[in-house]
Amino acid sequence: MLRLVSFALFLVVWWTAALLVGGAKLPSPPAVLDVMIAEAASGALFLHLGATLARVALAFVLAMSLGSAIGYLMGRVKLADRLGDPWLILLLNLPALVVIVLAYIWAGLTEAAAIAAIAINKLPTAVVTLREGTRALDRSLDEMASVFAMPRWRAFRHVVLPQLAPYVAASARSGLSLVWKIVLVAELLGRPNGVGFEIGVAFQLFDTPRLLAYSLTFAAVVLVIETALVQPFEAHASRWRPRAA
């Protein structure tokens, strides 16, 4: 209910601003909706949305799985932490644009280059978050598992993973927004489809309604993914915690 009120307020502010500034710079909500409907009817909206979503999914899964594994290793093994730390700092501070441009130069304007570049941008934050999570693991529970001679996999699954779950969820949430921002840049620079490509076209034509139609549709999709997937996962992972934490 509160969410609806908040959304309605957003529409009111938008509409008022559109009336004040004028339709060329900021089109009103109905104008944007018209473009959305037209693009959806032609199928272009779904094509571009699908292409972008596929890239997001691939890059996200790649970065999360690789980043979590490396982060866990660096949290557990001192040597890995020492060796990996300079690389991590470098990657963390490398601008996304540099990675994307270099990837396109070295690997060509290919799908693989785009996905790799997006994944490399997300990777270091996943590593950092999971390394923190691993460092915060409760040693006394490790000892308990060791005394009771729990096999490695069972201990990992039931003792370690539940402690890492909040960190995975936090990393997934921030990662999703990061990947979503970077994927558009990658598409703008070197892909012939996707929301980023469409926004590039709209920018060249100064077609604001089209620009908003695509970005808002994608924002809506991200919102749905967040409420339908990320939040239920978090709720499930933290169901044992006392409520209202």
Partner 1 sequence: MRLEVGITGKTFKSAAGETHEVLAPIRFALQSGEVGVLIGPSGCGKSTMLRIILGLDRDYQGHVARPPEARVGMVFQEPRLLPWRSVEQNVRLAAPDVSDAKLAELFRILELEAHRSHFPGELSLGLARRVALARAFAVEPDILVLDEPLASLDDALAGRLRDEIATLVASRPVTTLLVTHSLDDAVRLGDRLFFLSPRPARILAEVPIGIPREARGDAAIAAIKAGLARRAPDEQGGERAGRDVS
Question: Using CB under 8 A, which of 25, 82, 135, 154 touches partner 1?
Answer: 154
Least Å distance between CB 48 and partner 1? 41
Burial class (CB in 10 A: 0-12, 13-18, 19+), 76: middle
Identify whether the C-beta of residue 100 lies closer than 8 Å to the C-beta of residue 117: yes
Determine how many CB atoms are found less than 10 A away from the CB of residue 165.
16
Over the window 183 to 222, marking each residue x when it contacts partner 1 by CB under 8 A and - when it does not, the resulting string is ----------------------------------------
Question: Using CB under 8 A, which of 141, 201, 221, 225 touches partner 1?
Answer: 141
Per CB under 8 A, does 240 bind partner 1? yes
Identify whether the C-beta of residue 54 lies closer than 8 Å to the C-beta of residue 111: no
Which uninterrupted H or E stretch holds 65? helix 44-76
Contacts of 123 by beta carbon, 8 Å cutoff, 6+ apart? 63, 66, 67, 70, 91
Q: Which is nearer to partner 1, 44 or 165 (CB)?
A: 165
Per CB under 8 A, does 153 bind partner 1? no
Question: Using CB under 8 A, which of 22, 43, 86, 242 touches partner 1?
Answer: 242
Applying CB under 8 A, the residues found at the interface with partner 1 are 140-141, 143-144, 146-150, 154, 158-159, 162, 240-242
